[in-house]
Amino acid sequence: MKKLFLLLSIGLIAFPLFAGQAGDKADKSVPAYMTEAQANKKLPKTLPPSQFSDPQTARAYEAAKEIPKVLAQQPCYCWCSRGGHRGLLDCYVGDHAAHCGVCQKEALFAEKLTKEGKSPAEIRTAIEKSGWVNAE
């Protein structure tokens, strides 16, 4: 009986450790984003940039308004896809991005690369390589 108790106890301790390792692997995958075909369909409207007094937030919402098809094809590394977002554009349909520096940095980075002539796929590759982290 003591052996059974000991084995169960070890299992209860070890299981979360191994489960955490599996979760870490999953966290290294890419968050959800729309395909080009999905982004070419009707997209939801973003909130107006004028609704925000913070300059960076307003700039990020302006980017979302100007390049929605590009943002729709980008993953969002705040992992809001776990809450149902289909890509970075969904962060700008409501006020989620107003409270999230990750969303804002990614959108401004995507805008910069779009102005440099990069395609949505090239931008996604740069975002996946964490290019947005130190972008201004």
Higher pLDDT, 18 or 92: 92
Q: pLDDT at position 9, please?
A: 41
pLDDT digits (tens, 9 = 90+) for 99-124: 988 999 999 999 999 999 999 999 99
Distances (CA, A) of 5 to 8, 9, 10, 13, 15: 5, 6, 9, 12, 15
130: left (phi over 0), alpha (psi -120 to 50) or beta: left
Cα dihedral 32/38/40/44 (nearest 10): -70
75: left (phi over 0), alpha (psi -120 to 50) or beta: beta
Report how far residue 129's alpha carbon sits from residue 126's, in angstroms, rounded to the nearest whole number. Answer: 5
Q: Greatest CA separation found in the chain?
A: 69
Averaged over 44-54, what is the pLDDT? Answer: 95
pTM (predicted TM-score): 0.74
